[in-house]
């Protein structure tokens, strides 16, 4: 029996106390209605439960698909990282690039990955001969 029915009963009971005895019959009729409604409600709840189970199954399937998609993306990401590593680029190298620049300015030159020509070279990104700005600096051997 739901809370609604209980409240209704209590409400009707208190009504009954102030009303004549003739009202008692109405109270029981009302109670019967309430019980009948509760039964219907229970049936509705059962079908709702079935729907919920179906929905949960659907959601579980969708989650499984989503999980597979994530795994695929992760695998692709790993492939990408491996590919970048093959070309001498790693997340660490990219992050350290700015720091390396400062170190080079202070001391001797180190071979580094140039972002412009994608080669391991001694020049800075900005000094790369590949840049149009450095066109005039290009040596004869540069192609
Ligand atoms: Zn370069």
Average pLDDT, consecutive stretches of 10 residues, N- to C-terminus, the chain (143 residues) = 60 56 79 82 81 89 91 89 79 54 56 92 92 92 81
CA of 56 to the centre of ligand 1 (A): 56
CA of 72 to the centre of ligand 1 (A): 34
| Spatial contact of 8 and 23, defined as CB atoms under 8 Å apart | no
Domains of the chain by residue range: 3-85, 87-137
CA of 88 to the centre of ligand 1 (A): 14
Residue 73 to residues 61, 66, 90: CA-CA distances in angstroms? 18, 10, 18
Instruction: Give the model's pLDDT for residue 135.
Output: 93
Instruction: Give the model's pLDDT for residue 96.
Output: 55
CA of 78 to the centre of ligand 1 (A): 27
Instruction: Give the model's pLDDT for residue 2.
Output: 54
Instruction: Give the model's pLDDT for residue 127.
Output: 93
CA of 118 to the centre of ligand 1 (A): 6
Instruction: Give the model's pLDDT for residue 133.
Output: 94
């Amino acid at each position: 029996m739901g809370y609604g029915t209980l409240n209704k009963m209590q409400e009707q009971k208190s009504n009954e106390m102030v009303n004549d005895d003739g009202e008692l019959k109405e109270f029981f009729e009302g109670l019967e209605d309430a019980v009948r409604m509760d039964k219907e409600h229970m049936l509705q709840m059962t079908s709702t439960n079935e729907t919920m189970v179906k929905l949960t199954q659907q959601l579980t399937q969708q989650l499984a698909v989503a999980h597979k998609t994530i795994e695929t993306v992760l695998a692709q990401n790993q492939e990408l990282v491996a590919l970048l590593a093959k070309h001498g680029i790693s997340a660490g190298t990219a992050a350290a690039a700015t720091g390396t620049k400062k170190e080079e300015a202070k001391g001797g030159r180190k071979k580094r990955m140039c972002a412009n020509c994608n080669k391991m070279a001694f020049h800075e990104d900005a000094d790369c001969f590949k840049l149009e700005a450095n066109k005039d600096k290009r040596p004869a051997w540069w192609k």
